[in-house]
Structure 1
Amino acid sequence: MGTPEQSTTGGPAVGWAVRVGGLAGACHPGPVVAVTALMAALAVTAGQSAARGVLTAAAVLTGQLSVGWCNDAFDARRDVAAGRRGKPVADGAIGVTEVWVAAYAALALCVPLSLACGLWAGAVHLAGVAAAWAYDLRLKATAWSWAPYAVGFAALPAFVALGLPGQPWPAWWVVTAGALLGIGAHLGDVLPDIRGDLATGVRGWPHRLGPDGARLLLPVPLVIASAVLVLGPAGPPGGRGTAALAVAVVVAVAGAVLGRRWERAAFVAAVAVAVVDVALLLLRGTGIA
């Protein structure tokens, strides 16, 4: 394992390839791709034009890249101290300075791309990105660590809605569901590393709950988000919505019960409920504004 400033050495081509791979790995590619794809799909179902949908996706992509790179660069020394593997900066695949440069470059691109979607849309999206940076740089280790996730995830559907013709304000239920999904995502993100974080002095909200408390609480905001997505829009929920809510509740309860013997059961259940929530969000996309 290397130091945060170390980069892999070798021939020029090999060194370049390793650094590019390290930079790609340091951006948290899974969440970056998932969030960008979800917002692109929501832009389509909400009724944005093809050109505006591409612009929305580009703004979300650059914002997510900036947040992911900021996170890994800032956490590099703690990752080394905790002995975490699979982190490109901590493993020495790429230097921390290079990751910081990439983070600021992505942020610089995110600003004009966001504002190109409209002043209010851009302001809301940039507020969400700013909240995520605040989490990375300060709030992660406080009892308020949940707040940036709530703000950031609520800002995403609001950004899509405000990018529609006429810049309509998003419906209350889609913003509320986004915030709840963000809180669930925070618990899910922290849970795999919670013991290592505690060993290095991180005391965010999930860490104060403890591993068991965080695991049991994880499905709760996701199930509430399901209820909001089903019951919030005007009109009857319909058979699909009612069935989806029932599935979310049953899966979450099963995860909590099985989690007493199998630690990952609650996490797996939460992922399943999150998938249901994403499907509901896309199905309700035409009514988000």
Structure 2
Amino acid sequence: MRGLAGATHPGPALAVTVLAGLLAVTADVGPVRWVLVVGAVFSGQLSIGWSNDLIDLARDRQTGRADKPLAAGTASAKQARVACALAVVACVGLSLACGLVAGLVHLACVAAGWAYNLGLKATPWSWLPYAVAFGGLTVFVGLAGSGQPPWWWPTAAALLGVGAHLLNVLPDLADDAATGVRGLPHRLGRRWIAPVAALVLVTASAVILVGASPAVPVVGTVSGVVLTLAVVVLVAPGRWPFVAAIVIALVDAVLLVLVS
């Protein structure tokens, strides 16, 4: 069970689920609908994680990915296929229980994640599933609650998704290159990934601040923190640019929730 859980990519899955749950609170989703929204998002993330490791199993074995449970043998492909199928069934049911339109929007988000796993990640369009999934997630939450979300929710979330994609791929560049995966981050190269991610994430911050129009002290504080981190991305040595870009992403996620 531990290996099967590890094959879900638990960190990203939990992060996206928590973000959806927090946004659902701000969207005036009632307790029952909140449970449905969180369950739909979590099951969708489980299906994306398991399908990713199933599809990449041969590649992961080729590159000796001991951190991948299916490749390492701590979970079987058969177990993952059954678990993935159950997650898909749960995701469809829970999504549609949130309302037909809202449910279809969320299923489109999950389909975008699957499209990434099935091949888009190896193309210059690798960023698109992240933009669709993150942006669409906020639309799903809004429709499941009080109605259409403000324009800046999906815009900022889509930018946050693209930034997350760029940063998420960075540790796997060597393995991906060995197996012929050349998405947008690979074409940018290690030197440019963090700066481009920072630019995207700073833009997301600006969109949130413009759309939400929080108090002036909040605008000043957030702007100062984000711009300082962006400078670190551009000039710092070693892993500091990568760390600073991740912190910008976290600031954007927190800001999206707190000012919504």
Common fold, TM-score beyond 0.5? yes
- Give the aligned partner of residue 31 of structure 2: 50
- Give the aligned partner of residue 187 of structure 1: 166
Q: Secondary structure at the match of 2:189?
A: helix
Q: CA deviation at 1:46?
A: 2.3
Aligned: 1:245 with 2:220: no
Q: CA deviation at 1:132?
A: 0.5
Give per-residue Cα distances to partners, 1:126-179, cap 9 Å, x unaligned.
Answer: 1000000000011011111100000000011111100114xx222111110010
- Give the aligned partner of residue 144 of structure 1: 125
Q: CA RMSD in A?
A: 1.3
Unaligned stretches of 5+ residues in structure 1: 1-19
Distance of 2:186 and 2:215 partners within structure 1: 36
- Give the aligned partner of residue 18 of structure 2: 37
Aligned mate of 1:91, from 58, 69, 72 = 72
Unaligned stretches of 5+ residues in structure 2: none
- Give the aligned partner of residue 198 of structure 1: 177
- Give the aligned partner of residue 157 of structure 1: 138
What amino acid maps onto 1:154 in structure 2?
G
Distance of 1:23 and 1:225 partners within structure 2: 34
Distance of 1:85 and 1:199 partners within structure 2: 16
Q: CA deviation at 1:189?
A: 1.0
Give per-residue Cα distances to partners, 1:227-263, cap 9 Å, x unaligned.
Answer: 0000123x565311331122111112112210xx31x
What amino acid maps onto 1:191 in structure 2?
L
Distance of 2:85 and 2:187 partners within structure 1: 31
What amino acid maps onto 1:161 in structure 2?
G
Q: When the two structures are superposed, what TM-score results if normalisation uses the length of structure 2?
A: 0.96
Structure with greater Cα Rg: 1
Give per-residue Cα distances to partners, 1:93-142, cap 9 Å, x unaligned.
Answer: 11223212211210111011001111111111110000000000110111
8 Å Cα contact 1:26-1:68 kept in structure 2: yes
Distance of 2:133 and 2:58 partners within structure 1: 26
Structure 1 residues 89-238: aligned runs within 5 Å: 89-165=70-146, 168-233=147-212, 235=213, 237-238=215-216
Distance of 1:85 and 1:216 partners within structure 2: 30
Q: How many residues align?
A: 260
Q: CA deviation at 1:54?
A: 1.0
Aligned: 1:71 with 2:71: no
8 Å Cα contact 1:146-1:186 kept in structure 2: yes
Aligned: 1:265 with 2:240: yes
- Give the aligned partner of residue 41 of structure 2: 60
8 Å Cα contact 1:72-1:89 kept in structure 2: yes
8 Å Cα contact 1:80-1:90 kept in structure 2: yes
Q: Secondary structure at the match of 1:218?
A: helix
Q: CA deviation at 1:39?
A: 1.0
8 Å Cα contact 1:230-1:237 kept in structure 2: no
Distance of 1:40 and 1:278 partners within structure 2: 12
Q: When the two structures are superposed, what TM-score results if normalisation uses the length of structure 1?
A: 0.87
What amino acid maps onto 2:117 in structure 1?
D
8 Å Cα contact 1:251-1:269 kept in structure 2: yes
8 Å Cα contact 1:241-1:280 kept in structure 2: no
8 Å Cα contact 1:230-1:242 kept in structure 2: no
Give per-residue Cα distances to partners, 1:207-232, cap 9 Å, x unaligned.
Answer: 11111121321211111100000012
Aligned: 1:274 with 2:255: no
Q: Secondary structure at the match of 2:66?
A: coil
8 Å Cα contact 2:52-2:117 kept in structure 1: yes
